[in-house]
């Protein structure tokens, strides 16, 4: 921080006559310091931005500064202080945004302060902001981080009943919180290779979570289907999500091949990536998982010679395999 101070002072001097740019500079500093949990740097940038916000006549500057400070306080695990700031802003007729409410809700959730989280959620809805998939996933992730699986079941049912769509992140948040599934995936040679097998081997709460997920439309959104190609895209899925989606996909393939209402694609592709974004570059855990499942299921899919991040097979060959 001491070494950076001359650079910060120089930048502030150059931007002094350009209020918006100066505000954005402080916003970026707050974002950086809060993500690195630098208390000294955050406090200094926060104080400077708050002073600028108080003296500014620009609604844009006030709005942008408030969002940045609330987000930073929440990142620093200070949701009560963030709520206090939101109350201050109401006094100058600056209403809290959906972003600010989400930030506070998630911060309370991360800290395990669920009554405060629910209170803030209720206030958000009173202020006219509807619960959406993003906020729902934040709440799921919060319950999961504290091993509150029964709360996750109730929450999934609530958002499903409310018509809020599940997403890949919903799968990731839920399945990353299931300890039995996480342990199973350490040994891919013995992991269950059908949904009935999986649910049979899971404790009750984890089994109920899986059942809530497979009733959603996430698989349908991950599939492209036409006469030329049937494609399953696993990008964005963590290992547990890719595993469950693969089990669902196998059942969905069987159903589509048998019902006579779907065209049989010339080629079927599973896109799992080649590991460019993995912890160890070039080693895709999802690809390893899919390969092991293909082998254990005796599925006729093979690695695509033109794209090593994909598994491919002829549609008619997969239809014959599934009987």
Integer Cα distance of 247 and 289 in angstroms: 12
Q: Which helix (H) or strand (E) is 314 found in, with range? A: strand 310-314
Count H helices and E strands in the chain, helices first. Answer: 17, 5
> Whats the size of the chain, residue-wise?
323
pLDDT tens readout for residues 176-203: 999 999 999 999 999 999 999 999 999 9
- A 10 A CB-CB count for 140 gives 25
Mean pLDDT value across residues 60-86: 96
DSSP 144-182: HHTT-HHHHHHHHHHHHHTTPPP-HHHHHHHHTT-HHHH
Q: Which residue has the higher pLDDT, 69 or 11?
A: 69
Which residue, 285, 309, 278, is CA-closest to 186? Answer: 285
Q: pLDDT digit string (tens) for 272-317?
A: 987 555 554 557 899 999 999 999 999 999 999 999 999 999 999 9
Q: What is the pLDDT of residue 261?
A: 87
pLDDT tier at 214, thresholds 50, 70, 90: very high
Scan for tokens 């592709």, then name that residue: 269
**What mean pLDDT comes out for the span 44-64?**
92
* Whether 35 contacts 77, CB under 8 Å: no
**Percent of the chain having pLDDT more than 90?**
85
pTM value is: 0.89
Pairwise CA distance, residues 320 & 323, whole Å? 5
């Amino acid at each position: 921080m001491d070494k950076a101070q001359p650079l910060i002072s120089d930048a502030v001097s150059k931007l002094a006559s350009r209020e918006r740019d100066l505000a954005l500079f402080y916003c970026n500093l707050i974002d950086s310091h809060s993500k690195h949990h630098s208390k000294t740097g955050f406090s200094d940038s926060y104080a400077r931005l708050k002073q600028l916000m108080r003296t500014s006549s620009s609604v844009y500057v006030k709005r942008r500064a408030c969002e940045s400070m609330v987000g930073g306080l929440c990142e620093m695990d200070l949701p009560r202080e963030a709520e206090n700031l939101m109350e201050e802003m109401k006094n100058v007729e600056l209403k809290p945004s959906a972003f600010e409410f989400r930030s506070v809700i998630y911060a309370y959730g991360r800290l395990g302060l669920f009554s405060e989280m629910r209170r803030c959620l209720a206030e958000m809805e009173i202020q006219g902001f509807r619960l959406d998939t993003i906020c729902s996933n934040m709440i799921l992730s919060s319950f999961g981080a504290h091993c509150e699986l029964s709360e996750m079941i109730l929450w999934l049912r609530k958002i499903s009943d409310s018509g809020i769509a599940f997403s890949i992140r919903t799968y990731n948040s839920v399945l990353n919180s299931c300890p039995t599934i996480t342990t199973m995936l350490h040994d891919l040679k013995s992991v269950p290779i059908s949904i009935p097998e999986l649910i049979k081997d899971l404790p009750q709460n984890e089994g109920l979570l899986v059942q809530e997920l497979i009733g959603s439309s996430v698989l349908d959104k991950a599939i492209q289907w036409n006469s030329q190609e049937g494609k399953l895209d696993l990008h964005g899925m963590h290992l547990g999500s890719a595993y469950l989606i693969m089990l669902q996909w196998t059942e969905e393939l069987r159903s589509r091949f048998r019902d006579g209402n779907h065209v049989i694609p010339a080629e079927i592709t599973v896109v799992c990536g080649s590991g460019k974004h993995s912890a160890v570059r070039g080693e895709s855990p999802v690809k390893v998982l899919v390969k092991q499942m293909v082998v254990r299921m005796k599925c006729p899919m093979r690695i695509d010679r033109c794209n090593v991040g994909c598994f491919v097979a002829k549609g008619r060959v997969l239809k014959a395999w599934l009987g």
